[in-house]
Protein backbone atom coordinates (compact mmCIF):
# COMPACT_ATOMS: atom_id res chain seq x y z
CA UNK A 1 0.00 0.00 0.00
CA UNK A 2 1.34 3.44 -0.99
CA UNK A 3 1.98 5.87 1.87
CA UNK A 4 1.45 9.59 1.27
CA UNK A 5 2.05 12.39 3.75
CA UNK A 6 -0.45 15.22 4.05
CA UNK A 7 1.60 18.29 4.86
CA UNK A 8 -0.37 19.70 7.79
CA UNK A 9 -0.41 19.66 11.58
CA UNK A 10 -4.00 20.96 11.60
CA UNK A 11 -6.15 18.00 12.71
CA UNK A 12 -9.38 19.49 11.35
CA UNK A 13 -7.85 20.09 7.93
CA UNK A 14 -6.25 16.62 7.98
CA UNK A 15 -9.57 14.92 8.73
CA UNK A 16 -11.30 16.92 6.01
CA UNK A 17 -8.67 15.95 3.42
CA UNK A 18 -8.69 12.28 4.44
CA UNK A 19 -12.48 12.10 4.23
CA UNK A 20 -12.46 13.64 0.75
CA UNK A 21 -9.70 11.49 -0.75
CA UNK A 22 -11.40 8.12 -1.12
CA UNK A 23 -8.46 5.94 -2.15
CA UNK A 24 -8.41 2.51 -0.53
CA UNK A 25 -4.91 1.70 -1.79
CA UNK A 26 -3.27 4.70 -0.10
CA UNK A 27 -2.36 5.15 3.55
CA UNK A 28 -2.37 8.85 4.49
CA UNK A 29 -0.35 10.22 7.40
CA UNK A 30 0.35 13.73 8.66
CA UNK A 31 3.37 15.76 9.73
CA UNK A 32 2.40 15.26 13.37
CA UNK A 33 2.26 11.47 12.86
CA UNK A 34 5.93 11.61 11.91
CA UNK A 35 6.98 14.37 14.35
CA UNK A 36 7.80 16.92 11.66
CA UNK A 37 7.40 20.68 12.07
CA UNK A 38 5.29 22.73 9.70
CA UNK A 39 6.98 24.56 6.86
CA UNK A 40 7.29 28.36 6.72
CA UNK A 41 4.97 30.00 4.19
CA UNK A 42 7.09 32.88 2.86
CA UNK A 43 5.49 33.39 -0.54
CA UNK A 44 2.81 35.75 -1.80
CA UNK A 45 0.74 33.17 -3.68
CA UNK A 46 -1.24 30.15 -2.55
CA UNK A 47 0.38 27.90 -5.16
CA UNK A 48 3.95 28.74 -4.12
CA UNK A 49 3.16 28.18 -0.44
CA UNK A 50 1.41 24.86 -1.12
CA UNK A 51 4.35 23.69 -3.23
CA UNK A 52 6.83 24.71 -0.53
CA UNK A 53 4.85 22.73 2.06
CA UNK A 54 4.65 19.64 -0.16
CA UNK A 55 8.38 19.71 -0.92
CA UNK A 56 9.21 20.24 2.76
CA UNK A 57 7.12 17.23 3.80
CA UNK A 58 8.55 15.02 1.07
CA UNK A 59 12.14 16.07 1.78
CA UNK A 60 11.78 15.25 5.49
CA UNK A 61 10.04 11.90 5.01
CA UNK A 62 11.11 10.53 1.64
CA UNK A 63 7.40 10.10 0.87
CA UNK A 64 5.12 11.55 -1.80
CA UNK A 65 3.28 14.52 -0.32
CA UNK A 66 0.01 16.41 -0.61
CA UNK A 67 -0.23 20.01 0.60
CA UNK A 68 -2.72 22.81 0.32
CA UNK A 69 -2.71 26.51 0.91
CA UNK A 70 -6.06 28.11 1.26
CA UNK A 71 -7.73 31.20 2.58
CA UNK A 72 -10.56 33.64 2.31
CA UNK A 73 -10.35 36.56 -0.11
CA UNK A 74 -12.63 39.54 0.41
CA UNK A 75 -13.39 41.85 -2.52
CA UNK A 76 -13.67 45.06 -0.49
CA UNK A 77 -10.29 44.34 1.15
CA UNK A 78 -8.50 43.79 -2.19
CA UNK A 79 -8.32 40.03 -1.62
CA UNK A 80 -7.24 40.13 2.03
CA UNK A 81 -6.82 38.21 4.31
CA UNK A 82 -5.81 35.89 1.42
CA UNK A 83 -2.63 33.94 2.07
CA UNK A 84 -2.50 35.39 5.58
CA UNK A 85 -5.96 34.12 6.54
CA UNK A 86 -4.70 31.90 9.39
CA UNK A 87 -2.47 34.71 10.71
CA UNK A 88 -4.70 37.69 9.97
CA UNK A 89 -5.01 39.08 13.50
CA UNK A 90 -1.52 37.95 14.58
CA UNK A 91 1.00 35.15 14.05
CA UNK A 92 -0.66 33.10 16.79
CA UNK A 93 -4.25 34.22 16.21
CA UNK A 94 -7.20 32.01 17.08
CA UNK A 95 -10.11 31.55 14.66
CA UNK A 96 -12.19 33.86 16.85
CA UNK A 97 -9.55 36.61 16.77
CA UNK A 98 -9.26 36.41 12.98
CA UNK A 99 -13.04 36.56 12.58
CA UNK A 100 -13.26 39.57 14.92
CA UNK A 101 -10.61 41.46 12.95
CA UNK A 102 -12.26 40.69 9.61
CA UNK A 103 -15.69 41.81 10.81
CA UNK A 104 -14.17 45.01 12.25
CA UNK A 105 -12.44 45.74 8.93
CA UNK A 106 -15.76 45.30 7.08
CA UNK A 107 -17.78 47.41 9.52
CA UNK A 108 -20.05 49.66 7.45
CA UNK A 109 -19.00 48.05 4.16
CA UNK A 110 -21.88 47.19 1.80
CA UNK A 111 -19.83 45.04 -0.59
CA UNK A 112 -19.33 41.83 1.38
CA UNK A 113 -18.55 39.52 -1.54
CA UNK A 114 -15.82 37.01 -0.83
CA UNK A 115 -14.53 33.62 -1.86
CA UNK A 116 -12.55 30.81 -0.36
CA UNK A 117 -9.60 29.73 -2.51
CA UNK A 118 -7.61 26.50 -2.28
CA UNK A 119 -4.48 25.46 -4.12
CA UNK A 120 -3.70 21.74 -3.76
CA UNK A 121 -0.30 20.28 -4.69
CA UNK A 122 1.04 16.73 -4.97
CA UNK A 123 4.72 15.85 -5.39
CA UNK A 124 6.01 12.32 -6.02
CA UNK A 125 9.34 13.25 -4.40
CA UNK A 126 11.11 16.31 -3.05
CA UNK A 127 12.52 17.46 -6.40
CA UNK A 128 9.53 16.46 -8.52
CA UNK A 129 9.73 18.68 -11.65
CA UNK A 130 6.08 17.97 -12.51
CA UNK A 131 3.98 18.60 -9.40
CA UNK A 132 0.26 18.05 -9.77
CA UNK A 133 -1.58 21.30 -9.00
CA UNK A 134 -5.32 21.83 -8.69
CA UNK A 135 -7.49 24.63 -7.36
CA UNK A 136 -10.94 25.28 -5.99
CA UNK A 137 -12.95 28.48 -5.57
CA UNK A 138 -16.07 28.82 -3.41
CA UNK A 139 -18.04 32.06 -3.87
CA UNK A 140 -20.13 33.72 -1.20
CA UNK A 141 -20.15 36.71 1.09
CA UNK A 142 -19.19 37.70 4.62
CA UNK A 143 -21.98 37.73 7.21
CA UNK A 144 -22.22 40.48 9.80
CA UNK A 145 -22.01 37.99 12.68
CA UNK A 146 -21.13 34.29 13.10
CA UNK A 147 -23.76 31.63 12.36
CA UNK A 148 -23.43 27.89 12.97
CA UNK A 149 -21.07 25.71 14.96
CA UNK A 150 -19.52 23.32 12.42
CA UNK A 151 -16.22 23.69 10.62
CA UNK A 152 -13.28 25.91 11.49
CA UNK A 153 -11.51 29.07 10.39
CA UNK A 154 -13.91 31.57 8.84
CA UNK A 155 -16.72 29.04 8.24
CA UNK A 156 -19.15 30.72 10.65
CA UNK A 157 -19.09 34.06 8.80
CA UNK A 158 -18.97 32.79 5.21
CA UNK A 159 -22.39 32.63 3.54
CA UNK A 160 -22.64 30.17 0.64
CA UNK A 161 -24.70 31.71 -2.17
CA UNK A 162 -26.28 28.45 -3.33
CA UNK A 163 -27.51 27.08 0.00
CA UNK A 164 -27.94 30.50 1.68
CA UNK A 165 -26.32 29.06 4.79
CA UNK A 166 -23.02 29.74 6.47
CA UNK A 167 -20.33 27.14 5.90
CA UNK A 168 -20.61 26.37 9.62
CA UNK A 169 -24.31 25.55 9.21
CA UNK A 170 -23.81 23.06 6.40
CA UNK A 171 -23.94 19.32 6.93
CA UNK A 172 -20.51 17.81 6.37
CA UNK A 173 -21.59 15.82 3.31
CA UNK A 174 -22.85 19.00 1.62
CA UNK A 175 -19.74 21.01 2.50
CA UNK A 176 -17.60 18.14 1.18
CA UNK A 177 -19.26 18.48 -2.21
CA UNK A 178 -19.08 22.24 -2.70
CA UNK A 179 -16.19 23.73 -0.70
CA UNK A 180 -13.00 25.12 -2.22
CA UNK A 181 -10.96 22.31 -0.68
CA UNK A 182 -13.44 19.69 -1.88
CA UNK A 183 -13.23 21.02 -5.43
CA UNK A 184 -9.43 20.99 -5.44
CA UNK A 185 -9.27 17.53 -3.84
CA UNK A 186 -11.77 16.02 -6.28
CA UNK A 187 -9.56 17.15 -9.17
CA UNK A 188 -6.39 15.95 -7.43
CA UNK A 189 -7.89 12.56 -6.51
CA UNK A 190 -8.84 12.03 -10.16
CA UNK A 191 -5.23 12.67 -11.18
CA UNK A 192 -3.81 10.46 -8.41
CA UNK A 193 -6.00 7.55 -9.46
CA UNK A 194 -4.28 7.64 -12.83
CA UNK A 195 -0.96 7.17 -11.01
CA UNK A 196 -1.85 4.74 -8.23
CA UNK A 197 -4.79 2.69 -9.53
153 is in an annotated binding site: yes
- CB contact at 8 A, 141 and 103: no
Peptide bond into 82 cis (omega under 30): no
- Tell me whether residue 173 is one of the annotated catalytic residues: no
Looking only at the bridges linking them, the beta strands covering 26-30 and 2-6 are parallel
24 is in an annotated binding site: no
In Å, the largest CA–CA distance within the chain is 54
Using CA atoms, how far residue 89 sits from 37, 79, 99, in Å, is 22, 16, 8
60 is in an annotated binding site: no
70 is in an annotated binding site: yes
96 is in an annotated binding site: no
181 is in an annotated binding site: yes
Q: What DSSP string describes 71-105?
A: EEEEGGGTT-BGGGGGGSS-TT--HHHHHHHHHHH
44 is in an annotated binding site: no
13 is in an annotated binding site: yes
Of the residues 33, 69, 95, 197, only one is catalytic, namely: 69
Q: Which residues participate in the annotated binding site for substrate?
A: 8-13, 70, 152-155, 175, 180-181
Q: Which residues participate in the annotated binding site?
A: 8-13, 69-70, 152-155, 175, 180-181
Q: Which residues participate in the annotated binding site for Mg(2+)?
A: 69
Active-site residues, by number, are: 69
Amino acid sequence: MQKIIIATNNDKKLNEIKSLMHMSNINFCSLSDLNIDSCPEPFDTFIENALAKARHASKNTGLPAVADDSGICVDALEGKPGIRSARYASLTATDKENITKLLENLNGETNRKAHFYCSMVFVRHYLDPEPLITEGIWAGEILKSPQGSNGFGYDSIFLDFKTEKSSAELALDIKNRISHRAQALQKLTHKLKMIYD
